[in-house]
């Protein structure tokens, strides 16, 4: 019995020794490897986060620089306001030309001897002017409503051939009535004190014209 027991015990001890020497250190080594891998993953993750933060920071800087170079809202509004001021002083076709002082300017070379120009003062006014050139080449002007019929919707003129016709009473007059004062259904003349004659035409004081606004309150749109 002792003969077989001793070899068995020796075999068991040998197995235990192998386990202690070989298996356990290998497991420890595997665990250490795993820990290293995990640690490496953490490092990689941390670096990725740093890169991401750097990228975001860089993009933010780029956006900030773009915004600083782009025109601000106040700048755009200022430019727009400037454009509006230019448009406000530019009269559409059919309206009088205005100088830098806001007064009406009429050029003789834009007028005709045999055709009357019907000129609206501005979009904010109902006043209409009659203008033509006389035989001397000078600009002449009068108000586009008549003395007798004023106050009626038809108290304005239309040119028919070489004559002006009152659209209220139907009377006709030679277009030369624009050049000088007359009675009856003649056009109402503008006070000479408010007219400045120049070498190329004339200038009418807008503040003076404003005093005639009431004469056109009842005149029909035409």
Asked whether residue 110 is assigned to any structural domain, the reply reads yes
Helix and strand numbers (H, E) in the chain are 4, 10
- Give pLDDT, residue 54: 45
Q: What's the rounded mean pLDDT across residues 58-85?
A: 38
Dist CA 53 CA 84 (whole Å): 47
pLDDT exceeds cutoff 50 at 91:
yes
What global pTM score does this model have? 0.59
> Do 114 and 18 belong together in one domain?
no
> Do 207 and 121 belong together in one domain?
yes
Q: What's the rounded mean pLDDT across residues 47-55?
A: 43
Asked whether residue 12 is assigned to any structural domain, the reply reads yes
> Do 49 and 101 belong together in one domain?
no
- Give pLDDT, residue 156: 97
> Do 63 and 126 belong together in one domain?
no
| Number of structural domains the chain divides into | 2
Q: Which domain holds residue 48?
A: 1-70
Asked whether residue 85 is assigned to any structural domain, the reply reads no
Asked whether residue 16 is assigned to any structural domain, the reply reads yes
Burial 187-219 (b: 16+ CB within 10 A, else e): bbbbeeebbeeeeebbbbbbeebeebeebbeeb
């Amino acid at each position: 019995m002792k003969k077989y027991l001793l070899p068995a015990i020796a075999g068991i001890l040998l197995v235990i020794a192998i386990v202690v020497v070989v298996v356990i250190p290998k497991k420890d080594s595997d665990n250490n490897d795993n820990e290293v891998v995990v640690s490496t993953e953490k490092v990689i993750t941390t670096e990725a986060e740093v890169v991401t933060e750097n990228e975001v920071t860089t993009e933010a800087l780029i956006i900030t620089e773009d915004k600083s170079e782009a025109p601000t809202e106040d700048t755009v509004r200022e430019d727009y306001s400037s454009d509006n001021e230019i448009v406000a002083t530019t009269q559409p076709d059919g309206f009088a030309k205005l100088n830098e002082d806001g007064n009406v300017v009429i050029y003789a070379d834009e007028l005709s001897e045999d055709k009357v120009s019907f000129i609206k003062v501005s979009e904010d006014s109902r006043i209409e002017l009659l203008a033509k050139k006389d035989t001397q080449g000078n600009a002449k002007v009068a108000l586009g409503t008549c003395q007798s019929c004023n106050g009626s919707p038809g108290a304005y003129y239309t040119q028919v051939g070489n004559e002006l016709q009152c659209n209220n009473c139907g009377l006709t007059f030679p277009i030369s009535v624009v050049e000088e004062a007359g009675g009856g259904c003649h056009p109402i003349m503008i006070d000479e004190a408010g007219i400045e004659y120049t070498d190329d035409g004339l200038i009418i004081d807008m503040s003076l014209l404003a005093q005639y606004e009431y004469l056109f309150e009842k005149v029909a749109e035409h």
